[in-house]
Chains A and B, each alone.
Chain A
Amino acid sequence: MLTIGTLGFTAPMILAALAALPVLWWLLRAVPPAPVLRRFPGIVLLLGLREKDPESQRTPWWLLALRVGAVAALILALAGPVLNPRQVEPGEGPLLVVMDASWASARDWPRRVERVAQAVSEARRTGRPVAVVSLAAPPAEGPVFRSGDYWQERLSALIPEPFAPPAALPGWLDDLPLGVETLWISDGLARDGRQALLRALQARGPVSVFEPAAPVLALMPAGFEGGAVTLTARRAGHDLGQAELMLQAMGRDPTGTERALARAPLVFAPGATTAEAAMVLPPELRNRITRFQIEGARGAGSISLTDDSLQRRKVALLTVRDATEALALLSPLHYIRQALEPTAELIEGTSLDDLLLAAPDVIVLADHPGLTEDESLALQGWVDAGGLLLRFAGPRLASAGGTPTTGALSGLGGDPLLPVQLRAGGRTVGGAMSWGAPRSLAPFREGTPFAGLAVPEDVEIRAQVLAQPGPDLARRSIAELSDGTPLVTRRALGDGQVVLFHVTANAEWSNLPLSGLFVSMLERLAVSTRGALPEPAELAGTSWQIVERMDGFGLLHRAADRPAVSGTLLAEALVDGRTGPDLLPGLYAAREQRVALNATGPQTRLQATDWPAGVTVETGLARPEMPLAGYLLALAALALMADVLATLALGGRLVRAAAVIGALALLPVPPAQADDGPIDPRILQATESVVLAHVVSGEARVDEIARAGLQGLSDALWRRTSVEPAAPMAVNPETDDLAVFPFLYWPVIETSPIPSPEAYTRLNRYLRSGGLILFDTRDAEIARLTTGTTPAARRLQAIAAGLDVPPLEPVPSDHVLTRTFYLLGDFPGRHTGATVWVEASPPDAVRAEGMPFRNLNDGVTPVVIGAHDWAAAWAVDPSGMPMLQVGRGMTGERQREMALRFGINLVMHVLSGNYKSDQVHVPALLERLGQ
């Protein structure tokens, strides 16, 4: 090898070819570029013309320089140039390469492997046998001395392990022959047993150490205190200066892509071995975090997996549609709220659809028996997909036994959303009218989630709902009263589960919600999660399955095939961070709980190595050998490409080549297509003005009358009020968007179609967003006389079963419908005398002082149900004359007029809400204005 300064050549003989460059210069200079041949008739005119610059007959000098430069670069590249060539003295005897191969080596693993490769290739040149041994994962049969070729192939398979090498001396040391030279690839951390191993190796031959000087970094498990995530990083090294690192919180974003969700700076003061960082994150983000890592660092040590201790479950509480402002302590959800607020994220809503959209982990239904079939199906789907449905009993669930409106399923057919079948009624123990004393809880059985929780003496159950006895009851019951009746039952459903507390969630039936046991039980059910590391005692007797293991580089792998480990071992490892081949770092799971075991525990202390004076330590700080042949070859290729362009330019052909390339680049790109669906022109029309609409019944005559009726009502509105409706429309909830219609008239006949689930979703959204549907059975409730229901009314029941219809009451005399435009006493249509139903007013409404009506402020009733065949009374023919007869003579006309007035009042109610009701406040407002 020839060396010139820091530059060396492995094949210096080739450099002799550089002497040929001047010859090349001369040759190239003599040969100008080839001409283009053109036929041209005007050649006579050209004869005798001269170029401006006769010198350019020769190749331009810069083109020559370019070509000669390219050839020179090629020659230099072939000569094998190396920057910073390494001068080595060959050793003697077998070579043993010992690698720590722990997580701490992962940060610059390629450099270590490169160093090993270098040693192996040197040994191969000199014919020495080599053995490579990993201390963390020692080979079963001890070091194998083979030729360098054997090891060179296997070097790329060397990987670091995610744990530290064992402290004991390896067994193969005894079989090691004398005269072995050792190269120790150290990870830079001091450990027990290291000195002994060094002495043993030195006894057999010289030992040199390769230890990169960069400090070892380790990230301790994350803690969660006072709303902030705290992370501690430690480091060890010989030269500890100021270091500013960046901490990343990794997790999946809503699209499922893993990315850094948050960052925080991590600053090591000069000489300091620890640094702390705190992150304040919203729970939504915190729950997504799967690990923390130091940006730019590599290896299992600089990664801290997160587990349940950071997670906050999202718990949805379905509140009852209830306008009452009942006492907070009586609210069924009050104690749940209190118990969960510190440890879980709570969402509340009255609509199950909205709650499901928020994708909660847990949904709590407190005494909420009446789910529509759609809601029930949606909820089942959610539970199947892994949700936890937590239900509490109560008077309503207890009485849900027989009545169809509150779910006949729960009593007899088997509500899939109840873990056990319930007996109607429930029982009361220890009340004023019963003999027995209140029951206490039986100790929790082994194998149930509550096993191990202490039962307080003072918890008493005064009432409960009872399960139907059955073969499954014992298996599904996970907590019982002292008399053996179930207190909590549970049933798996798909990937999720349904849990029922047989008592109320408030203190009405028992004082369980008042006790600390309630909180613990919720925690055990994974409704809430613990906030700190599990105590060893807590883990005793449990067995944990590793789900994902971390390799030495910090990458996660599926590891479901590994055997389970006992909780005791895991608990110890969690504290002192002692991992090993049997207890790999990773994510462990038992039941619903997850625990992360990291490469370093909270008590792991890092300490830099301290090698004795006699050992040569190579830190790898010297600049590494860098072969330059590749760069020179690339340079030569670039120069030749430039030469091509320059030659084209000289020959006048560059413009055409550029035009061809430009034409290729300008190939047409198909325009992206917008995929907005077409909007129904009818719907578009309906948005332009107020449009009254009726729901198609499927019978032509009924639809015709409904349309004519709405036309008559629209005409009356136009004439008498400032509402100027456009022509009415027929809508089909199956296909049409209802949101643009303020008011739907729905004539129900015996054969009216039952809406599909999609239509129900649409209708319910319509009702919740302020729409009003007027149901009309058109039969004047004639069957009431015979104590039955008419076919149309039964159909209406079937249709309304899927709708979100609030509690109803007959229109009270002070309802705002009676005075939104006209003052009305009753609401006749073509018939009169039947009851008209609207949403029930809150029970606590009180009569306003000095006013003839109660203080009812909120909400437009979403439905009005009646049987008066209003459309027939409103209906007009195309000439504007009444279409159908109403009553007889002047009385009939009076009735028609009243029907129209009801229609106008109804539309006014829809459009202006409870504006008229607010007149309660007029005296107060006037008084205030007077001041």
Chain B
Amino acid sequence: MSVTPATLRHSAEALSAGLPPLLVGAEHLANSALPGAHGRRRAGAGVEFWQFRPAGASDSATRIDWRRSARSDEHFIRETEWQAARAVTLWVDGGAAMGFSGHRRRPRKGDRARLLAMALALLLLRGGERVGLARADLAPRAGRAQATTLALALAEAAAGMDEHAAPDLSATPAGGHAVLFSDFLGGLEPVEDAMRIAAERNLRGMLVQVLDPVEESFPYDGRTRFESMSGHLSFETLRAGDLRAAYRDRLAERKDRLAVLARSGGWQFTTLHTDSAPSAGLLWLWHALGGGWRR
């Protein structure tokens, strides 16, 4: 799957077309400063009617609802419900490791991650949320136009030189959500750093690990020289088959650490595989995001 913006958006649209728009639970957006489409069960800026209240001396005359006031002797002010949209920040690992595919019929991990991210972005945008990338120049915004911008930016980010990129959540609006896509097979320090920043900024979110089945099963045997995708690292063994059990143990340990890391920040962690259908992964993401917010 090539990653031109047009195809990425097209396939993401196709993937997200079947899901209803995502309406996020409101209670977690209490601290969000910006108004949006979510009623906050209190009077404030919004379009939905909330209540009429008697006008006080401090209220300006322009705010008086004359139609309601005409029915009685007092003056009333029409208050609307305070509504807020949510900001969701997406991050897709653009490192060389994400360019791996264990079989020529399976997509590369990076492609799958970008597809899922874009589909999630489309769903959120359709629900009126604000979506952005973890970059300073791509702050969360709402609207269909943002989808095109995101698609362009995601496709751009496809080429990376380093083995793994580090998530940078410093530009994320506080109190929003973050979804991080990576294989998390590199060093864990950048992830831990990002989690620390997220905790400081009161971010919630998900760690989504995208793996190729080969990375799970390690089906190699015989004398093998392994090289990292960028070619910086290499490792040689005479009997790859002997390492299988140890590798699996280490991978399971890595997953456990990631899960613990996510739980400690109130985040969620999952592992998606490139050989399963992307819609299943998207479904999980949608439920996790919606369910988490409703909690």
Closest to A34 in B: B223
| Residues of chain B contacted by A57 (CB below 8 angstroms) | 238
Chain A residues 1-58 with CB under 8 Å of chain B are 32-47, 49, 51-53, 56-57
A430 contacts B by Cβ under 8 Å:
no
Q: Count of B residues near A, CB < 8 Å?
A: 38
B162-178 vs A, Cβ < 8 Å mask (1 yes, 0 no): 01000000000000000
Question: Which of B183, B223, B233, B237 contacts A33, CB < 8 Å?
Answer: B223
| Residues of chain B contacted by A412 (CB below 8 angstroms) | none
Q: Are B224 and A36 in contact (CB under 8 A)?
A: yes
| Residues of chain A contacted by B225 (CB below 8 angstroms) | 35-38
Closest to B248 in A: A45
- Distance of A219 from chain B, by nearest CB (Å): 66
**Docked complex Cα distance between A39 and B242 (Å):** 18
Q: Are B229 and A51 in contact (CB under 8 A)?
A: no
Chain B residues 227-284 with CB under 8 Å of chain A are 227-229, 233-243, 246-247, 250-251, 254
| Residues of chain A contacted by B218 (CB below 8 angstroms) | 42
Given contacts A35-B223, A38-B225, A42-B185, contact A51 B236 (CB under 8 A): no
Q: Are B233 and A35 in contact (CB under 8 A)?
A: no
A445 contacts B by Cβ under 8 Å:
no
Given contacts A32-B238, A33-B223, A36-B224, contact A44 B247 (CB under 8 A): no
Q: Are A56 and B238 in contact (CB under 8 A)?
A: yes
- Distance of A38 from chain B, by nearest CB (Å): 5
Most buried by B among A32, A51, A651: A51
Q: Are B227 and A652 in contact (CB under 8 A)?
A: no
B48 contacts A by Cβ under 8 Å:
no
- Distance of B293 from chain A, by nearest CB (Å): 32
Q: Are B224 and A39 in contact (CB under 8 A)?
A: no
Closest to B224 in A: A36
Question: Which of B212, B226, B239 contacts A56, CB < 8 Å?
Answer: B239
**Docked complex Cα distance between A670 and B221 (Å):** 37
| Residues of chain B contacted by A39 (CB below 8 angstroms) | 100, 226-229
- Distance of A659 from chain B, by nearest CB (Å): 13
Q: Are A43 and B226 in contact (CB under 8 A)?
A: yes
Closest to B95 in A: A41
- Distance of B251 from chain A, by nearest CB (Å): 6
- Distance of A792 from chain B, by nearest CB (Å): 81
A650 contacts B by Cβ under 8 Å:
yes
A557 contacts B by Cβ under 8 Å:
no
A111 contacts B by Cβ under 8 Å:
no
- Distance of B107 from chain A, by nearest CB (Å): 14
Q: Are B227 and A38 in contact (CB under 8 A)?
A: yes
A847 contacts B by Cβ under 8 Å:
no
**Docked complex Cα distance between A115 and B12 (Å):** 88
Q: Are A44 and B220 in contact (CB under 8 A)?
A: no
Q: Are B237 and A44 in contact (CB under 8 A)?
A: no
| Residues of chain A contacted by B235 (CB below 8 angstroms) | 43, 46-47
Q: Are A652 and B221 in contact (CB under 8 A)?
A: yes
| Residues of chain B contacted by A32 (CB below 8 angstroms) | 223, 238
Most buried by B among A32, A38, A39, A53: A39
Q: Are A44 and B185 in contact (CB under 8 A)?
A: yes
A38-82 vs B, Cβ < 8 Å mask (1 yes, 0 no): 111111111101011100110000000000000000000000000
Question: Which of B100, B185, B224, B250 contacts A652, CB < 8 Å?
Answer: B224
Q: Are B243 and A49 in contact (CB under 8 A)?
A: yes
**Docked complex Cα distance between A749 and B240 (Å):** 95
| Residues of chain A contacted by B212 (CB below 8 angstroms) | 41
Given contacts A39-B100, A43-B227, contact A51 B242 (CB under 8 A): yes
Q: Are A45 and B254 in contact (CB under 8 A)?
A: yes
Q: Are B237 and A41 in contact (CB under 8 A)?
A: no
- Distance of A88 from chain B, by nearest CB (Å): 56
**Docked complex Cα distance between A139 and B226 (Å):** 80
**Docked complex Cα distance between A39 and B227 (Å):** 5
Q: Are B222 and A650 in contact (CB under 8 A)?
A: yes
Q: Are B224 and A41 in contact (CB under 8 A)?
A: no
Question: Which of B97, B98, B223, B251 contacts A36, CB < 8 Å?
Answer: B223
**Docked complex Cα distance between A176 and B163 (Å):** 98
- Distance of A785 from chain B, by nearest CB (Å): 97
| Residues of chain B contacted by A51 (CB below 8 angstroms) | 237-239, 242-243
Given contacts A56-B239, A652-B240, contact A40 B250 (CB under 8 A): no
B20 contacts A by Cβ under 8 Å:
no
**Docked complex Cα distance between A41 and B100 (Å):** 7
A653 contacts B by Cβ under 8 Å:
yes
B18 contacts A by Cβ under 8 Å:
no
| Residues of chain B contacted by A52 (CB below 8 angstroms) | 239, 242
**Docked complex Cα distance between A33 and B228 (Å):** 22
**Docked complex Cα distance between A650 and B183 (Å):** 31
- Distance of A52 from chain B, by nearest CB (Å): 5
| Residues of chain A contacted by B222 (CB below 8 angstroms) | 36, 650-653
**Docked complex Cα distance between A424 and B3 (Å):** 108
| Residues of chain A contacted by B254 (CB below 8 angstroms) | 45
| Residues of chain A contacted by B224 (CB below 8 angstroms) | 35-38, 652
B81 contacts A by Cβ under 8 Å:
no
- Distance of A36 from chain B, by nearest CB (Å): 5
| Residues of chain A contacted by B242 (CB below 8 angstroms) | 51-53
Q: Are B247 and A42 in contact (CB under 8 A)?
A: yes
Closest to A46 in B: B235
Closest to B236 in A: A35
Question: Which of A33, A34, A46 contacts B226, CB < 8 Å?
Answer: A46
Q: Are B247 and A49 in contact (CB under 8 A)?
A: yes
| Residues of chain A contacted by B291 (CB below 8 angstroms) | none
Q: Are A37 and B223 in contact (CB under 8 A)?
A: no
| Residues of chain B contacted by A46 (CB below 8 angstroms) | 226, 235, 237, 243, 247
| Residues of chain B contacted by A42 (CB below 8 angstroms) | 185, 215, 218, 247, 251
| Residues of chain A contacted by B233 (CB below 8 angstroms) | 43-44, 47
B56 contacts A by Cβ under 8 Å:
no
Question: Which of A37, A45, A53 contacts B250, CB < 8 Å?
Answer: A45
- Distance of A833 from chain B, by nearest CB (Å): 93
Chain A residues 642-677 with CB under 8 Å of chain B are 650-653, 655
Question: Which of B109, B185, B229 contacts A45, CB < 8 Å?
Answer: B185
Given contacts A35-B225, A36-B222, A46-B235, contact A41 B183 (CB under 8 A): yes
Most buried by A among B187, B226, B246: B226
Seen from chain B, the residues whose Cβ lies within 8 Å of a Cβ on chain A are 97-98, 100, 109, 163, 183, 185-187, 212, 215, 218, 220-229, 233-243, 246-247, 250-251, 254
Nearest 7 Cβ contacts at the A-B interface: A652-B222, A652-B221, A41-B97, A35-B225, A45-B250, A651-B222, A51-B242
Seen from chain A, the residues whose Cβ lies within 8 Å of a Cβ on chain B are 32-47, 49, 51-53, 56-57, 650-653, 655
Given A40-B228, A41-B229, A53-B242, 18 other A-B residues pairs in contact with their CB atoms under 8 A: A36-B222, A39-B100, A39-B226, A40-B227, A41-B109, A41-B215, A44-B185, A44-B228, A45-B185, A51-B243, A53-B239, A650-B222, A651-B223, A652-B221, A652-B223, A652-B224, A652-B240, A653-B222
Q: List 26 A-B contacts (CB under 8 A).
A: A35-B236, A36-B222, A36-B223, A36-B224, A36-B225, A37-B225, A38-B224, A38-B226, A38-B227, A39-B227, A41-B97, A41-B109, A41-B163, A41-B185, A41-B215, A42-B215, A43-B228, A44-B233, A45-B247, A45-B250, A45-B251, A46-B226, A49-B246, A51-B239, A651-B223, A652-B241
